[in-house]
Structure 1
Amino acid sequence: MKQAMPSLPASCFLAQTAIACNNIKMKHVPALTDPSLTTFYLAENEIAKIPAHTFLGLPNLEWLALSKNKLDTQGLHPHAFKNLTWLKYLNLDRNSLSTVPAWPDSQQELQLNDNLLQGLQRSSFQGVVTESVLKGSHSLSMLVFNNSRLQEDQLAPRAWIDLPPQGLQCLMLHHSLIECISGYMFAHMKPGLGFLHLSHNRLRADGVHGMSFHGLRASLAELLLDHNHLQAIPRGHLGLKGLQVHDSNRISAHLENNLIDQRHIIPTAFSCSQASERGPPAPAGEEGS
């Protein structure tokens, strides 16, 4: 166990390489200097501002949980995570962020569920850690933007163009207001996404055309389009040769709870599927998130 630190509230839990200060009505991140600290839980507090040098004394931090606070884009300094060159997991769920913050090249998973994102443009992923944040983020494997109120005109065709081609494996956009997927949005990705989750949106059949999933033909193993407004199997779906069958009865293309008349599904709609037991990665959990 660590010894108590003067800048930490007494209710914080201290372990050898971790500190947990969840749900203690904390209003700011305490100033700490501890190169051995790798995990810092600050979920369910009242933190509204994170200045530029907040984490300067924690250079080896790998896991940072800031979900359920009061952060907005003005309160989160663009340089807040600049020195965290070992950071792998960052949870910013349930705040009030309107833009995607910059993060270091080491980042593997970013969670931004339940925020107020105003759109995803190419500039959303350009920041201060490198000239273009995602251009150097070769470790990033998962982006999670569920419940972020994104609309169809806020998902730019070139939004992901600076993503490293071999990096991102899973993109989650559940519970938003997306009505269409622009053509060639994922065309630069090689080998491409393995898991694309678009459940609980407003997708229509005419909003998903033949080129919407171009670039994912061989790689996509799971496509979630359930709980949308589709009246037919999207044309772009028919060319996805990488979709897998998890068992004899369940395919990894989910289209349930749409407006599709099953009598009009052609027999060859899923003929490209192959047997596999591959499953999607699950977002990492945290205490108090």
Structure 2
Amino acid sequence: RHFCRISIFIVSILLMGQWADGNGEEGDCPLECDCPSLYPRAMYCHSRNLQHVPYVPSRMKYVYLHNNRITSIQQGVFDNATDLVWVILHKNHLRSDKIGKNVFSRLKSLQKLYLDHNNLTSVPQNLPTSLVDLRLNNNNISKLSYGSFQGMLHLQTLRLQRNTIEEVGGALKGLESLALLELGGNLLKKVPESLPEKLQQLYLEYNHITSVSDNFFSQRPSLQFVRLSHNQLTNSGIPTNTFNVSSLVELDLSHNHLEKIPTISTSLENLYLQANHIKEFSVKSFCRVVDVTNYSQIRVLRLDANKIRASDVPPEAVLCLRLATVIDI
């Protein structure tokens, strides 16, 4: 009986070993990485001082390679793991000329690709059209080619802030699902016009923007949050009803060169105008008619660091801004 039990035990161990090898669940993890049994589809290789992308087993869906010293990605390095869903490569030393032209092209299920905080000078070629979240911020990208994002109908988030982009052109026009676009900290001189119509969040702070076209916001009825702070906007560069659109919920125009409060929609809830050159408080900027039934939805209004004082606010502002919880002057 004891002999039979020992034999069964040994056979069980052998079978388990064969099953693990055959299914790639054990023993195929690169020595430089961790592949915990609790997360059999994840490979953790971050913060290991790596200079190259290690072998990626075919079973993997999530690969974490951030905070290393990787400078290049050779052709075919991901070809064995075509089911990858996340590839996290931020905070490395990646260079555009060191990334194979088709490195990511076979990853037809890839949803998240983080390439931010690297040394890229251009958008990598042949990116999968399955991407939902693409991060390219904090690089040295100066130009967006027309075909850089071609076919990315599922892309919802695109982060391009803190690069050296001077103009966008039509590179982003076909991104039908794009909801969030970050372009802050670049060298833009005007608000890009050929942007997707379904945008909900647009961040353009820390550029050199001097004007906004009069119909830009009215043509994008889904736009709710807009950040244009730390630019060079003047009242002459903003047509009268540019911001008078009902879709906007939050508008940041702080740290510009405005002398008057722009006309806004009564549905706007948060307006940031601090650190401009505003000299007067115009109630008509918020309410075209001031009475019991007509009032602004403003909750937060910042006008501090301008050229007006609390005593400059007219009495009718109390009726117009009756919902405001914060007014800084």
Shared fold (TM-score, shorter chain, > 0.5) = yes
After TM superposition, give the deviation of residue 138 of structure 1 in Å: 2.0
Q: Aligned match of 1:51 in 53, 62, 74? A: 74
CA shift in 2, pair 1:121/1:162, >3 Å: same
Residue 83 of structure 1 corresponds to 106
Q: 1:179, 1:264 → 2: CA distance?
A: 28
Q: 1:242, 1:267 → 2: CA distance?
A: 19
Q: Aligned match of 1:176 in 163, 168, 186? A: 186
1:162 aligns with 2:174: yes
Q: Which amino acid aligns with 1:229?
A: Q
3-state SS, counterpart of residue 143 of structure 1? strand
CA shift in 2, pair 1:264/1:231, >3 Å: farther
After TM superposition, give the deviation of residue 162 of structure 1 in Å: 3.0
3-state SS, counterpart of residue 134 of structure 2? strand
Q: Aligned match of 1:203 in 192, 209, 218? A: 209
1:276-287 equivalences under 5 Å are: none
Q: 2:279, 2:156 → 1: CA distance?
A: 35
Q: 2:77, 2:45 → 1: CA distance?
A: 16
Q: 1:270, 1:54 → 2: CA distance?
A: 60
Query: In the alignment, is the contact (CA less than 8 A) between 1:23 and 1:45 conserved in 2?
Result: yes
1:244-259 equivalences under 5 Å are: 244=249, 251=268, 255-257=272-274, 259=276
Q: Where in structure 2 are there 5+ consecutive unaligned residues?
A: 1-19, 252-266, 289-294, 299-329
CA shift in 2, pair 1:103/1:124, >3 Å: closer
Q: 1:121, 1:253 → 2: CA distance?
A: 35
Q: 2:250, 2:216 → 1: CA distance?
A: 22
Query: So what's the TM-score if we normalise by structure 2?
Result: 0.67
Q: How many correspondences in the alignment? A: 251
Query: In the alignment, is the contact (CA less than 8 A) between 1:114 and 1:146 conserved in 2?
Result: yes
Q: 1:143, 1:48 → 2: CA distance?
A: 23
1:1-289 equivalences under 5 Å are: 3-5=26-28, 7-9=30-32, 12-14=34-36, 15-34=39-58, 36-101=59-124, 102-125=126-149, 133=150, 136-150=151-165, 154-164=166-176, 167-182=177-192, 184-186=193-195, 189-190=196-197, 192-204=198-210, 207-213=211-217, 215-216=219-220, 218-232=221-235, 234-235=238-239, 237-244=242-249, 251=268, 255-257=272-274, 259-261=276-278, 263=280, 267-268=284-285
Q: 1:219, 1:255 → 2: CA distance?
A: 20
Q: Where in structure 1 are there 5+ consecutive unaligned residues?
A: 126-132, 277-289
Query: In the alignment, is the contact (CA less than 8 A) between 1:122 and 1:161 conserved in 2?
Result: no
Alignment deviations for residues 233-274 of structure 1 (CA, whole Å, 9 cap, x no partner)? 83373243311269xxx9566544553516265623587x99
CA RMSD of aligned residues (A): 3.2
Higher relative contact order (CA 8 A, sep 6+): 1
Query: In the alignment, is the contact (CA less than 8 A) between 2:246 and 2:268 conserved in 1?
Result: no
Residue 282 of structure 1 corresponds to none
Q: Which amino acid aligns with 1:162?
A: G
Query: In the alignment, is the contact (CA less than 8 A) between 1:227 and 1:255 conserved in 2?
Result: no
Query: So what's the TM-score if we normalise by structure 1?
Result: 0.75
